[in-house]
Amino acid sequence: MGKGQELYKKAKTLIPGGTMLLSKRPEMFLPDNWPSYYSKAKGCKVWDLDGKEYIDMSIMGIGTNTLGYGNDEVDEAVIKTIRNGNMSTFNCPEEVMLAEKLVELNPWADMVRFARSGGEANAIAIRIARAASGKDKVAICGYHGWHDWYLATNHNQVDDLSGHLLPGLNPEGVPKNLKNTVFPFHYNDIEELQQLISSQDIGVIKMEVVRNFGPENDFLKKVREISTKNNIVLVFDECTSGFRETYGGIYLKYGVEPDVAMFGKTIGNGYALTAVVGRREVMEAAQKTFISSTFWTERIGPTAALKTLEIMERVKSWETITDLGKKMQKGWRDLAERNGVTISISGIPALSTYSFAGENALKYKTYLTQEMLKNGILASTNFYACVEHNDEYFKMYFDVLDGIYKTIHGCEMGNQEINQLLDGPVCHSGFKRLN
């Protein structure tokens, strides 16, 4: 057992659930054999606690580092900030500069609030939007974090959120009297949303602009129209989609403007900074309610975001990562076809994902991660692109993947037995309690 697995065993006795983020649980990749912890990360490479080097062809820090890990320019700016003091009784000027920049990038918006996580930004946006609309009820589509307001959806009916990225989100500990305050609707189903608005007194619509598939039949335009007509505050959660297809929100691609948008992940290239951007008449409602936190005032986040925005604009990172993602999707499709393996691909190119078909799907996914790891590659059935990924890494990856798909085809044909090829337990597919 590597040092990482040893440490993870200890972690589970000290930290309930083992890690802070579900998606970084070793069980989500390769239970009992995932290196789990890193000693160093640079570009698109990661080193484990035993000093072994890997190419990260998986989730790249869950999509935070589109400019690669440890980007020199961002790090230099951060180091300068650290030398000048990250905290003081005064506020940091960078937050005003960053607010100005974000308003410039979102011309329909006038004001900005900052936080440090996507869940927090969502909670802020919901509080402001509810205060502005004067109504409690919210319609949602997508994943919006771990806070009470969102998880309350799963008090309505059993696992109402299962169709919105993560199945099995247990709302234990969320007050039951929040039941029927948040109502999910399905992407591209405008009738469902219309019915919801007719039957409930909805004050806020919050949605991801695109997750797995794009809008059909002017879906986003219709959502905008319904919102305007019914005096509903429309909030776009761009925490994950932002800066991956455009220089800003993916909403720019569809020509539909929200009343509030949240950004996160990419914006600080691995440093914590999230933003709630909105129209003045909505954002001013933040003054009617109390929204305040100590570490929203630290200086590293806005410093990193200012530098990251500058670099992204200069190198047009969204173009590079979209091209890389397209190339990855094509590679998956071609190799799967050639080897007779059935997969279904989804996601915007820069956040590409796929799944195997059939009852052995999770076993095949586990096998893939296991074999890739043996070849020095971190991989699962998704690929979050960064500007440091290149042809050399793609070639290494596809060479190994070819062999893996051949074996999977062999299993499907009954020539090989997948259970005998796995060195450990099968990976998890969603949220569940750890033993």
Interacting residues toward ligand PMP by CB under 6 A = 117-119, 122, 142-145, 208, 237, 239-240, 264
Q: What is the nearest approach in angstroms of ligand PMP to the Cβ of residue 399?
A: 31
Q: What is the nearest approach in angstroms of ligand PMP to the Cβ of residue 149?
A: 12
Nearer to ligand PMP, 266 or 407 (CB): 266
Q: Which two tokens stand for residue 322?
A: 């979209």
374-379 long-range CB contacts below 8 Å, 24 or more apart? 375/400, 376/52, 376/53, 376/54, 376/55, 377/54, 377/55, 377/57, 378/46, 378/54, 378/55, 378/56, 378/57, 378/58, 379/57, 379/58
The single-letter code of the amino acid at 433 is R
Q: What is the nearest approach in angstroms of ligand PMP to the Cβ of residue 177?
A: 24
Nearer to ligand PMP, 273 or 324 (CB): 273
Nearer to ligand PMP, 119 or 349 (CB): 119
Contact criterion met (CB below 8 Å) for 234 and 242: no
Q: Which two tokens stand for residue 372?
A: 């890739």
Q: What is the nearest approach in angstroms of ligand PMP to the Cβ of residue 52?
A: 28
Q: What is the nearest approach in angstroms of ligand PMP to the Cβ of residue 230?
A: 24
Nearer to ligand PMP, 25 or 363 (CB): 25
Q: What is the nearest approach in angstroms of ligand PMP to the Cβ of residue 207?
A: 9
Q: Which two tokens stand for residue 402?
A: 């070819």
Neighbouring CB atoms inside 10 A of 39's CB total 14
User: What residue is closest to ligand PMP based on CB?
Assistant: 118
Q: Which two tokens stand for residue 98?
A: 């960053």
Q: What is the nearest approach in angstroms of ligand PMP to the Cβ of residue 192?
A: 20
Contact criterion met (CB below 8 Å) for 385 and 66: yes
Nearer to ligand PMP, 143 or 367 (CB): 143
- The C-alpha atoms of residue 274 and residue 301 are separated, in whole angstroms, by 8
Token pair 């820090």: residue = 61
The single-letter code of the amino acid at 5 is Q
Nearer to ligand PMP, 117 or 181 (CB): 117
- How many alpha carbons lie under 13 Å from residue 110 in its C-beta half-sphere? 6
Nearer to ligand PMP, 27 or 237 (CB): 237
